[in-house]
Amino acid sequence: MAPKIGVVTFPGSLDDQDALRAVRLSGAEALPLWHGSDSLDGVDAVILPGGFSYGDYLRCGAIARFAPVMDEVVRAANAGMPVLGICNGFQILCEAHLLPGALIRNDVRTFVCCDQRLVVESNQTAWTSQFEAGQEIEIVLKNGEGGFVADADTLERLEGDGRVVFRYAGRNPNGSLHDIAGITNERGNVVGLMPHPEHNVDALTGPSLDGRPLFASVLDFLAARV
Amino acid sequence: MARVVVDVMPKPEILDPQGKAVTGALGRLGFSGIAVRQGKRFELEVDGEVTPDRLADIERAASTLLANTVIETFDVRVETDVAGTVDEDAPTPLGGTDHPGHDIDHLDEAR
């Protein structure tokens, strides 16, 4: 039986349908999850999609982080379930303290929308095992508040422990410290990134298919766990 | 009822693009030599008395939701105790010399 991957829809989520589609294309069963639910409906992995949950009021992800479903996401993540946060999902994971640091307004003070080159720095996570370490890929990037910041100790720890997963290549589009585009937790099951791999899974709608390995990786991870 | 104010500011070492934009705009308007950092002010209307326990609760609310202490600092202070003094001392709307109606009359006369 194909593993079940859930995608949470918050009020203001934009890319939940794209994430569900990316999951289906990968061969997994895609399950929509609702922010107001207190159950993950037996899924094997969770994706928090991009968008502007709760209108980005207060801070991006600050209110979504306390949605009823997040109690279960936090509990499952701490128990080892693969969780992927894309863009707004990354912001929610940081607000929920599942990942360190925070995302602030882009230093260029504009919304950035482009095809962004990235280096995959770590393939030692549940979501990146299908990449080669050091591989260069191109993924859609679109955000207004994508500047990754953390204090010096946290940055040192992230770098030292190999927890920087994706780094911007060519140019830094938003002022992220250390050109960080994505990070993981200590265990490697929770990954957050600002670029949108769910938009790079189909030649018809994306400039590359470089997003596919993320979804293939988690299937591998789940298959190995059984 | 009391009002508790929570001020939230980006930490000094955190880039503040909004403040930078405002600083730039002020410079273009001729307000030179001014650097702005932009934060947020929350006004909390609190039922009943602000006891030390209540204030501790509000501090917790501030650190849980109002501020992200990874990137922001916050300051909590009790601004007014409305129940105590304000009722007696508040100027009555019709008695003040700066009543809006007064100004309008005055303007009419001037015309």
Domain, as residue range, for B91: 2-110
Interface test with A, best of B15, B41, B63, B64 (most A CBs within 10 A): B15
Assess contact for A48 and A96: CB atoms under 8 A.
Answer: no
Q: Is the pLDDT of residue B60 over 90?
A: yes
**Is residue B91 over pLDDT 80?**
no
Here the CATH number for the domain that contains residue B59 is 3.30.1280.10
Which residues, 6 or more positions from A183, have their beta carbon under 8 angstroms from its beta carbon?
A99, A100, A101, A148, A158, A163, A164, A165, A191, A192, A193
How many domains in chain B? 1
Is the pLDDT at B92 greater than 80, yes or no? Answer: no
Q: Which CATH architecture has domain A4-225?
A: 3-Layer(aba) Sandwich (3.40)
CA angle B48, B53, B54 (to 5 degrees): 40
Residue B97: is its pLDDT beyond 70? Answer: no
Q: What is the pLDDT of residues A67-114, one digit of tens each?
A: 999 999 999 999 999 999 999 999 999 999 999 999 999 999 999 999
CB contact under 8 A, B17 and A107: yes
Q: Do B15 and A106 touch (CB under 8 A)?
A: no
Tell me the per-residue pLDDT of A161-195, one tens digit each, with 9 for 90 and over: 999 999 999 999 999 999 999 999 999 999 999 99
ipTM confidence score:
0.89
Record: contact B20-A109, CB cut-off 8 A: yes
pLDDT at residue A225, as a whole number: 80
pLDDT band at B21 (very low <50, low <70, confident <90, very high): very high
Task: Choose the catalytic residue: A72, A121, A138, A198.
Answer: A198
pTM: 0.89
Report pLDDT for B81.
58
Average confidence score pLDDT of chain A: 97
Domain ranges of chain A: 4-225
A25, with CB counted inside 10 A (0-12, 13-18, 19+), is: middle
Contact A80, A111 (CB under 8 A): no
Answer yes or no: A178 catalytic: no
- The average pLDDT across B74-83 equals 80
